[in-house]
Structure 1
Amino acid sequence: MSGTMRTKGGHGRLGSVLSGLVVAVGCVLFLGGFVWGALLYQPYTVPTDSMTPTLDVGSKILAQRIDGDEARRGDVVVFTDPLWGSSPMVKRVAAVGGDTVACCDPDGRLTVNGEPVDEPYLRPGPGGRTVASGQAFSVTVPSGNLFLLGDDRHTSLDSRTHIEEAGQGSVPRSTVIGRVDAVVWPAKGLLEPPRGFAGLPGGISRPGPFAQLLTAIASGTVLILLGAGYGPVAGLLTRHRPGGPRSGPREKVGA
């Protein structure tokens, strides 16, 4: 009997130790995911409708903190430029330093260095026809600068508006403070990669670690719940096991 009790007690202690380890690992993943996310990402609110339908006005977005030199064609970036306004703004990189960006080709598409770019994220204009710009232009972007456009080319005030200024409407790469990776509200999730720019030199940016962060946080949550639930479940199973302790009063012997 004593050997059986020691065995059961040993199993119970082992289960408690393992459940504690599971909770500890879960806490590391859960808290680590949040800390990692806070270091890599900065939340913003989209101030205008110039990026619709990709980003609605008032959307809550997460922008990965990057250096402006990391920005590539097709990226949706957050930037601050005193000539454009005092608040952070959100636009899409249409061309980088050295590119000649023009609009439009016979199919209404943007061209970069003579190559047409498909942009399925654009908002259709009157009559349902999608054109990359209602305003014809051709600009050679100065070295170290970015030419930025909104996805709603009919209402966006972007590089086209500033073409007559120095830099022909482009902004220095140093103004970029983040690259939008995900839309958290309304919950659209990760932004689709801009495939239309993929064939150009330098390619497109790889997705940020947002998906891995969510996986770490979700896994940590599950482990914490599993570990914390071990004790109550184990106790419940013990009470209902044959030979286990009874919950009701015991009849006195020899009364």
Structure 2
Amino acid sequence: MSGSTSTVGGAIRRDGAMAGSRLGRTLSGLAVALGCVLFLGGFVWAAVAYRPYTVPTDSMKPTVNPGAKVLAQRVSGADVHRGDVVVFEDQLWGDVPMVKRVVGVGGDVVACCDKQGHLTVNGKAVDEDYLRGHGPASQENFRSAVPRGELFLLGDNRDVSLDSRVHLEDTEKGSVPASGVRARVAATAWPLGRAGMLPRTAAFAGLAGAAAGPSPQGPLKWLVFSVIAGAVLILGGAAYGPLAGAARRRR
């Protein structure tokens, strides 16, 4: 009787182990499949929605350092808000893409400076918290009525930035067509020590109009999470077989 009991117990254990092994293989396969969807889907979506750019000058310090590689979301110039950092092209500014901050949209009157050294938009002072040294907004006084369909652009490092202030002498308005915008900068990708989402500013939030800013954040955070989660699931699912085999051999 005792031998019979042992055989039955052994069979039950083997059946349970086989069922557990099948369940483990099924779950690991599902994890790998889901991981592939998340990883490839996030990667492809990011490649379609975002483009890498290299910032050539120090005109955007301290927000973005020269030589930094940024990820910028492809957007229309009609969708950018005051406070957005954009990549744009304009023949009067040069033959390469440039990176500046939007401080005025079509219909705005941009001027500098008030008695406190602040930039004003439509007569309202703007506390630009992103400025290198936190002010003043400009060493030179200026005023520009931005035409419809155009943007007034300044660098954050106002002491060295060649921006709409300089081009006021060329075009009498200094602004560029919104159609020249190629993308809106969302994050710094390199160097790794400064990698992360671009700081968002609420400096223009008190102004009237749909472009008061800042723009809604794009999907980049979720896409990065999708890629990382997918990689973890793929590696975890792929590791199940070898780990389970090693556990069986130890038993």
C-alpha RMSD of the superposition: 1.3
Aligned pair partner of 1:48 in 57, 73, 85: 57
Considering fraction of residues, name the structure with more helix.
2
CA contact (8 A) 2:53 2:69 kept: yes
Residue number in structure 2 paired with 1:137: 142
Q: Counterparts of 1:85-96 in structure 2 under 5 Å?
A: 85-96=94-105
Shift of 1:239: 2.4
Structure 1 gap ranges (5+): 242-255
Flag as ranges the 4+ runs of structure 1 deviating above 3 A: 1-4
Residue number in structure 1 paired with 2:206: 199
Residue number in structure 2 paired with 1:31: 40
For residues 90 and 186 of structure 2, the distance between their equivalents in structure 1, rounded to whole angstroms, comes to 21
* Percent of aligned pairs sharing the same letter: 56
Aligned pair partner of 1:165 in 170, 180, 187: 170
Residue number in structure 2 paired with 1:104: 113
Matched, 1:74 2:74: no
Residue number in structure 2 paired with 1:152: 157
Q: Which stretch of the first structure deviates more once superposed, 230-239 or 23-32?
A: 230-239
Q: Counterparts of 1:151-230 in structure 2 under 5 Å?
A: 151-166=156-171, 168-186=173-191, 187-201=194-208, 202=210, 203-204=212-213, 205-230=215-240
For residues 46 and 176 of structure 1, the distance between their equivalents in structure 2, rounded to whole angstroms, comes to 15
Q: TM-score, structure 2 length as denominator?
A: 0.91
CA contact (8 A) 1:142 1:167 kept: no
SS in structure 2 of the partner of residue 61 of structure 1: strand
Residue number in structure 2 paired with 1:21: 30
For residues 19 and 172 of structure 2, the distance between their equivalents in structure 1, rounded to whole angstroms, comes to 75
Q: TM-score, structure 1 length as denominator?
A: 0.89
